[in-house]
Structure 1
Amino acid sequence: MFRSSLRALVSGPLAPQLRRFVAVGIVAATVQMLLLWLFVDVATLNYLLGALVAIEVTIVLSYVLNNAWTFRCAQKTGVVEYLYGLLKTNVVRGSAIPIQLALLYGLVEWSALTHLPANAVAILVSGVYRYVLDARWTWRGA
């Protein structure tokens, strides 16, 4: 299963789209980690509140990038269509927030990880969920 998934990433029909999604995810994750660090370590917010705000900022960033590049074959271009797509991705990615925050909380409170490495793990785990729902609903059939 894992080998076939890796092979599909490299040479399958969805490989270019999946690679673009991963690239956008890396950019968004980097921004999210930077924001989390700023909110928690500089502004001294609680790590869960900081993560929530950072996640929402990167939801919008990811939508803009994915709409323009990852799912360009199903790109939302009209104002209403674009805003409706943003709403849909907020529902998809918003539904991943409890998953990500629960993982973050569990890893920080019950393991030796601090908030930044724990958030990186939570981003990776919730990323699979977000890709499947975004590909099948936000940019249906893309």
Structure 2
Amino acid sequence: MEKTKLELAVGVFVLVGVVCLGYLSIKLGKLEVIGGNLYEVDAQFNTASGLKPGATVEIAGVEVGRVKSITLKDDRAMVRLAVDNGTRLYTDTIASIKTRGIIGEKFLALSPGGGGDPLKPGDMIRDTESGLDLEELVSQYVHGKVN
């Protein structure tokens, strides 16, 4: 009888531990398990070099979403963003690929504008700026193609 109670207590303890570990993994990984309060918009870039799905989307240094996917469409990079519902974006929004530090991770910075109509889920951000590619700049310098 005593052994059964001990095994039951250990089993419950392990189960609670696994549930807590799963919860922390989802929260710390900033994953959305059930939909979340997000809407999706697209942006096309000449190059999305270094940008990865899951990268942060920021306005004024504040995280407002994540990069959901990056695909190729008509020889351009199509980036799908999942943005918080409380964040208002307009048709004159500018999306820029930026780098943290000199060789840091890439993220997407938004300048939300305010003069156009609000963007609806599935709409396209028209004004984009691709990231600076240091390898390309060094290559141009080495081969004497810098103006």
Q: Fold conserved (TM > 0.5)?
A: no
From the two aligned structures, give the one with the greater helix fraction.
Answer: 1
From the two aligned structures, give the one with the greater strand fraction.
Answer: 2
- TM-score scaled to structure 1, two decimals? 0.28
